[in-house]
Structure 1
């Protein structure tokens, strides 16, 4: 346990009389300084969605508070997410100002084959974690080269950032504790990408709070959990595109659609679920689908 300075504990009357400003949300539902997640089945588009989310923060898209974002990709080579970033830029039709902020604020870093380990310590006698010490120079570089502060770090995917048993609660508490320390020391938030368990995948329950694979700690000990759920067979037969309101999306079309939502949220107003459709390059674009009359 880290030392606690009880002389700096805030008194209850100070808390009562404090003037609290609105929470600073990094993404809708996740306040600055906290850990969140994005869970989904494999090959459902979670990496693409997270990159789009990161890109949006970097350029301040749709009124978001702009800031710098680090995206650690431990499963994909640089060339792959480079293609994805190009596809997002094209699909969104970025102007020159957006492109300038994208260059300044979005840091895509491949850790493929680097074996990053969040829980490794410099030595057994202290609580200094190697990963935090390694990324501090990067954060200093980011601070010196950009005008906007660091706001968010992504870990894609969680399994690639530790060597512990995901079903063991104590082990996963340690992983989350290191992320919380990163948030505290670097004044940012963290989002980890994670897979759903087999039962949730088989039963189309990606939207359940306990759908995350491994220990329940991975959901219970965070304050924000997003999900992506592939369109089910039933949904594909009951929904249509507005241009063809009587024609079901069907089996061939459903693989292009995913439903985004938040299965755990401790702060802010409830976030409505949204449908997205993959374009020809894999970019997830907002989809306006409708229920077929009589179904």
Structure 2
């Protein structure tokens, strides 16, 4: 070592200290694809393709409802309609393949549910061709293999249904950052397949108890689950006030649910539709006529006071979309006050 090297330049052990050179970071500027503004102004755009009213193809949406309100049945009826079947309530949409990943109900439950409503859903052969119904265990959509599998199965579909959200991730739903990643995975699926991705989700307890199921804030968990999606539908039970306004006995109100959309980004709001649970769980348009017996005839709930018919009168298929006659008048029974006590 040269004597000219000053002592101050030496390290603690009398050795020349090493100089740490930070690694050079390669910066790759992100390139943005700008649109042709002039063509946007001068060329007529293609009509927006809606899978459901206001639910744009290739985007992510949610159907939010409390437990045991019929959200899985509604999702199944929507899937059947898009796959080429009938809908007992007005639902105008294009026909195409649907992938339904049922991670909450086992295959035997789905079989019972579908068998009970099969005679009302129309062209079974066409539906069987277009509806890809897959009972499955819970899985994490952020897993690369799971995401790739959904994309492979959902390519060419108009709609992909995930039932329910809780079964497709492993994170805390109140964690905003985690939910951003979950929604981002669904957006990648939507972009890769061109399908709309609809996840079924539970409403918060406070929304269910306070009759606020029709609000955006009814969704359980982080606000990201609402803010980062483009469409949110809901299914809400009938409140006491709503039952009173429609002349429905309070003990009968659990037969009715209200379907609507609390968030629509790309079209005008849709009108809420009142539905009633009929035989086999099929959701049909509610009839608030003067005869309360007609409201109980197709009830799935055990009804005391009289014996229900062994089978409800068949719903008659009409020309075009839906059914011509939704609910037949009930046969003569005991007094209405004895009918709906359960």
TM-score under structure 1 length normalisation: 0.82
1: CA distance, partners of 2:290 / 2:245 = 6
**Aligned-residue CA RMSD in angstroms?**
2.0
Give 3-state SS (helix, strand or coil) of 1:219's partner: helix
Q: Which residue in the other structure is 1:209 paired with?
A: 216
Number of equivalent positions: 259
Q: Return the match for 2:177 from 150, 170, 190.
A: 170
Q: What corresponds to 2:249 in structure 1?
A: 250
Shift of 1:139: 4.2
Deviation at 1:85, TM superposition (A): 2.0
Task: Identify the residue that residue 68 of structure 1 maps to in structure 2.
Answer: 97
Runs of 5+ unmatched residues, structure 2: 1-28, 292-342
- The structural deviation recorded for 1:130 is 2.0
Which shows bigger deviation, 67-76 or 57-66? 57-66
Misfit runs of 4+, over 6 Å: none
- 8 A contact 2:256–2:276 mirrored in 1: yes
Structure 1: stretches of 5+ with no match in the other structure: 121-128, 141-148, 240-247
Range that drifts further, 263-272 or 152-161? 263-272
Aligned with residue 84 of structure 2, among 59, 69, 94:
59
Structure in which a larger fraction of residues adopt helix = 1
2: distance between equivalents of 1:139 and 1:198?
33
2:201: which partner in 1? 194
Does 2:228 match 1:221? yes
Deviation at 1:15, TM superposition (A): 2.5
State whether residues 236 and 249 of structure 1, in contact with CA within 8 Å, keep that contact through their aligned partners in structure 2.
yes
Q: CA deviation at 1:238?
A: 2.6
Spell out the pairing of 1:142-161 with structure 2 (5 A cutoff). 149-161=156-168
* Pairwise CA distance, 1:137: 4.0
Task: Compute the displacement of 1:269 (Å).
Answer: 2.5
Quote how far apart the aligned CAs of 1:225 are.
0.5
Q: Would the aligned equivalents of 1:30 and 1:224 in 2 still touch at CA under 8 Å?
A: yes
